[in-house]
Structure 1
Amino acid sequence: MGGCKSSDQVMMEKQNWPYDFALSEDFQKTEQRGCISGRLLVRDRYIIEDEDLYAASAYIGLALPGEAGSWQRECKGYQFWCQADADGSFYIKNIVTGNYNLYAWVPGFIGDYRFDATLTISSGDDIYLGDLVFEPPRDGPTMWEIGIPDRSAAEFYVPDPNPNYVNRLFINHPDRFRQYGLWERYAELYPDRDLVYTIGESNYATDWFYAQVTRRSDGDTYQPTTWQIRFSLDAVPPNSTYKFRVALASSANAELQVRFNDEARAVPHFTTGLIGRDNAIARHGIRGLYFLFSVDVRGAWLVRGTNTIYLKQPRNQSPFQGVMYDYLRLEGPCVVPAANSSPKAN
């Protein structure tokens, strides 16, 4: 009964906010605030050629003006968010007056959306934006993919904890990642070699470790790790360009170097440089600051038959340096699809 009362109380407080008992002139009452609504659609012509998809359950919000995705790093201004309905419709209310950009991200799709215009919210405004269209990054058809683009590493393999560190609250729990020391299990599972994932054979739920971390060796020293993705191509068109998308759910003082079919190459084909300080690995989290990297892959780097992508995390000063992947995708050479639009449920 206590739990029910608590839940009811939460709902009542949410409905009563913003409260009318605050006397400060700096606290705006409901009638002094504004509202905004609309519908968000997703356009990906490599999924459906002539129709837009509903941005079901999209996270849509207002934050200070900036670049797409800048709301993640913004900590000085107000932010107001909601989750869209099944048809992409959204309604954000009780917005403090001011200038904002409208941002969104959609589960199931990579990238960030930003409405082009700056929105000015005045007292009593009820602004309807109509249909907005998000075109997630896409250059060609999907050759293969690993994971689910939801800004989380929860779908990957999360090992059982060391019995000495078990938190019984999270045994048989959806948040099984909330256990101490899971990063140490990587070295136990891969003591002498690193993870190798084969497209068409491996399963990311069982074969892709939830975080690419360092490997502890003797004493308090740590080794860099290099993961491999192996895949086959029936042909590589001359002068073609593929696209490799890497979405990270978290990074902690890490670097991701990418090499194609040449692990010993002195200079990687791509590197992120040193990124991230969210410490999600050390804090038993499954997501942190989101990063999306898009790598142009020259056809000359690939071969007909078996190919290997080497993902190296070279920073190795501590056990917590590493990345959590959200989603990886290889796109084939661009094929221009048809273009028309009408909304349809996903």
Structure 2
Amino acid sequence: MFLVNSLRKSSGNGLLQLEVQQDYVVLDNGLLQLTFTKPGGHLICIRYNGLDNLLELHNPLLNGGFWDLNWSKPGTSGTRGEFDVANGTDFQVVVQNEEQVELSFTRKWDASMLGQYAPLSIDKRFIMLCGSSGFYSYAIYQRDETMPAFYLNEARIALMLNIEKFVYMAMSDDRQRRLPRPEDRVPPRGRELAFPEAVLLVDPIEPEFKGEVDDKYQYSCENKDNKVHGFICTDPTIGLWQISPSNEFRTGGPIKQDLTSHVNPTTLAMFVSTHYGGEDLVVKFGDGEEWKKVFGPVFIYLNSVSDYTNDSNAFLWSDAKDQMKKEVEKWPYSFPVSEDFLHVDQRGSVCGRLFAQDRYISEGKIAAKGAFVGLAPPGKDGSFQKEAKGYQFWVNADDDGYFKITNIRPGVYNIYAWVPGFIGDYRCDKDIVVAPGSSIDLGDLVYFPPRNGATLWEIGIPDRSAAEFYVPDPDPMYINKLLVNLPSHRFRQYGLWQRYADLYPNQDLVYTIGTSDYKKDWFYAQVTRKIGESAYKATTWQIKFELDEIAESGKYTLRIALASATFSILEVRVNKNGLGEALFSSGLIGSDNTITRHGIHGLYWQFNVEMETSLFNEGDNTIYLTQARNFSALHGVMYDYVRLEAPSFTSNKLA
């Protein structure tokens, strides 16, 4: 077995071939051949390594390869609206030479399209290079002063692959598998569970999948890790991979999660989405609001081996990862010709060093080891996670807190950061202006995490995730076999929220400071409890603790960091059996659907609750945490971290 086609030069005279007909366009570099509709710009054929077409053209709805978007009229609630495949109305060859062909399929919006199409002008670009075993695609979305208001819910590239051929999916080293067929998800072979995406395979075509749950959200990952994923065909042995060399054009920051590859078979490049964020990530434009953004380029990479063996899948996956690293090193690409895609000499850089300073942990500053540090458009603390119109640039600080962010598009930004092990968000108190070719040294930056007094007790680790808490075993009736032996992905199994009532059938969770262990005794999500056939009950968790003495004055502070919230109301009460008016209520928060989508975090929330000393007792005390919304099994919150602080002037510093 050996790898073929990834390095072989084009056939014939060594030149790229371009054929333009009335209704279609063909690109061929001797390694692969692409066919597009004209002027629509819909990819209807990828010919490679003896396979006439890698794409599926017989699905009832979506076929081939395409850019699409989902949009809504202003004032629309929810995250779904009208589907738009962004068909072009004009076609142009913008580059054609011995080394490169770049095609442009455009649709310019005008008033006659009102109500029918999203008020955007769209320029979809496709690039083929000589000797390259793949092709690139990017798009420029633009608005001008003539365009009405609208909401953008989603923007992406989708490739629908040949159903009969592409049966093996790989999206990470540990999440790879043969997948069931699309028809296995449809009754009577499949039975929909609590939501349409999750299907129990009751009579699949291949018996090995019987009894499994299939759900595309089980193959999600964070933006920072979403660099390469795809499918493998075994006859002939071909891999098709979607490679994203940068996340600058994605929304929501580095740990925002999104879809990758899933049953159909489908591979996605997600640019805008509300997944794991909800309505907070809908991009809302006002009347006449001007805007322009470049999405991509992403690279669709093809590889193959001469003969299929048991090692072929691992071989193709390894090669795809190597190619991904090469693409990352080449970013920003030098070959896109649109003036809106900025090359390396048109960009700038920012560097500095970040510290955290918490006087109750250390007298001096602490290097922000591993901190996430990024540039995003100006806003409030943590606003980057809901930001979707601009570009973002993120790195991790080294062990000494140093960071350098390169290849930044010119613009006005804030520096945002968070430090693992410390609650809250850092934001620079002044804007940073990046110019072409600029190199800005910010020097030392210091983050002062929220703190009033010494820690009396804490639950969890402040890392924006509920992963450290107790994630139960799945119901054996609802498992995905891939995830059974993957402890780090345990939370991705279907229906884990239902296990809460199994573990706490009559009484809600009670956590005792000094005795309980959050790894075993703090359930990963505070959800409702089902009662009867269709009713749900709100749940109240108790934190029990002792105070040897009560401060004479000042206020205690309860800090609550949430890793997720879905249509929830979090209430806090102290003592008095948890009765009476809530001391604190979050109000209705969140729509990230992380519990539904098998995640361990969505959007981050942080609340500070100050409490009078008169509320506490010498000796035994109880804090009650109530998730008060109870209309659904899927209302709930995930905690990141909970801490009680003493009043500042009665506190002793902790080592």
1:188 alignment partner, SS class? helix
Residue 496 of structure 2, aligned match among 165, 178, 182: 182
C-alpha distance in 1 between matches for 2:351 and 2:321: 27
User: How far has the Cα of 1:297 moved from its partner?
Assistant: 1.3
Query: Where do 4+ consecutive residues of structure 1 move more than 4 Å?
Result: 336-339
Q: Which residue of 1 aligns with 2:632?
A: 318
User: How far has the Cα of 1:171 moved from its partner?
Assistant: 1.5
C-alpha distance in 2 between matches for 1:337 and 1:325: 26
Residue 533 of structure 2, aligned match among 219, 222, 233: 219
Q: Which residue of 2 aligns with 1:55?
A: 368
The answer on whether the counterparts of 1:151 and 1:287 sit within 8 Å (CA) in structure 2 is: yes
Corresponding position: 1:283 with 2:615: no
User: How far has the Cα of 1:129 moved from its partner?
Assistant: 0.6
Q: Which moved more, 1:233-242 or 1:37-46?
A: 233-242
C-alpha distance in 1 between matches for 2:548 and 2:563: 32
Corresponding position: 1:158 with 2:471: yes
The answer on whether the counterparts of 1:141 and 1:335 sit within 8 Å (CA) in structure 2 is: no
Residue 64 of structure 1, aligned match among 370, 377, 383: 377
Q: Which residue of 1 aligns with 2:256?
A: none
C-alpha distance in 2 between matches for 1:257 and 1:212: 12
Q: Which residue of 2 aligns with 1:250?
A: 564
User: How far has the Cα of 1:262 moved from its partner?
Assistant: 2.2
Corresponding position: 1:110 with 2:423: yes
Any unmatched runs of 5+ in structure 2?
A: 1-314
C-alpha distance in 2 between matches for 1:293 and 1:337: 21
| Structure 2 residue identity aligned to 1:265 | L
Corresponding position: 1:332 with 2:646: yes
Any unmatched runs of 5+ in structure 1?
A: 340-346
Q: Which residue of 2 aligns with 1:87?
A: 400
Deviations 1:77-102 (A, max 9, x none): 11111111111110111101110011
C-alpha distance in 2 between matches for 1:224 and 1:18: 50
| Structure 2 residue identity aligned to 1:46 | Y
The answer on whether the counterparts of 2:472 and 2:496 sit within 8 Å (CA) in structure 1 is: yes
The answer on whether the counterparts of 1:41 and 1:131 sit within 8 Å (CA) in structure 2 is: yes
C-alpha distance in 2 between matches for 1:136 and 1:6: 41
The answer on whether the counterparts of 1:249 and 1:287 sit within 8 Å (CA) in structure 2 is: yes
User: How far has the Cα of 1:335 moved from its partner?
Assistant: 3.5
Q: Which residue of 2 aligns with 1:78?
A: 391
Q: Which residue of 1 aligns with 2:325?
A: 11
1:256 alignment partner, SS class? strand
2:463 alignment partner, SS class? coil
User: How far has the Cα of 1:265 moved from its partner?
Assistant: 3.3
User: How far has the Cα of 1:333 moved from its partner?
Assistant: 1.4
> TM-score scaled to structure 2, two decimals?
0.51
Q: Which residue of 1 aligns with 2:444?
A: 131
The answer on whether the counterparts of 2:551 and 2:650 sit within 8 Å (CA) in structure 1 is: no
C-alpha change, 1:22 and 1:4, in structure 2 (3 Å) is same
Higher Cα Rg: structure 1 or 2?
A: 2
Residue 547 of structure 2, aligned match among 233, 247, 250: 233
Q: Which residue of 2 aligns with 1:342?
A: none
User: How far has the Cα of 1:10 moved from its partner?
Assistant: 1.2
The answer on whether the counterparts of 2:454 and 2:651 sit within 8 Å (CA) in structure 1 is: no
2:576 alignment partner, SS class? coil
C-alpha distance in 1 between matches for 2:576 and 2:491: 34
| Structure 1 residue identity aligned to 2:339 | E
The answer on whether the counterparts of 2:411 and 2:435 sit within 8 Å (CA) in structure 1 is: yes
Considering fraction of residues, name the structure with more strand.
2
2:587 alignment partner, SS class? coil
The answer on whether the counterparts of 1:45 and 1:338 sit within 8 Å (CA) in structure 2 is: no
2:648 alignment partner, SS class? coil
Q: Which residue of 1 aligns with 2:360?
A: 46
C-alpha distance in 2 between matches for 1:72 and 1:26: 25
Deviations 1:170-194 (A, max 9, x none): 1231111000000000011111110
C-alpha distance in 2 between matches for 1:33 and 1:336: 51
Higher relative contact order (CA 8 A, sep 6+): 1
C-alpha distance in 2 between matches for 1:11 and 1:203: 41
Residue 432 of structure 2, aligned match among 119, 132, 145: 119
2:340 alignment partner, SS class? coil
> TM-score scaled to structure 1, two decimals?
0.96
| Structure 2 residue identity aligned to 1:332 | A
C-alpha distance in 1 between matches for 2:385 and 2:393: 13
1:15 alignment partner, SS class? helix
Corresponding position: 1:206 with 2:520: yes
| Structure 2 residue identity aligned to 1:230 | K
C-alpha change, 1:136 and 1:336, in structure 2 (3 Å) is farther
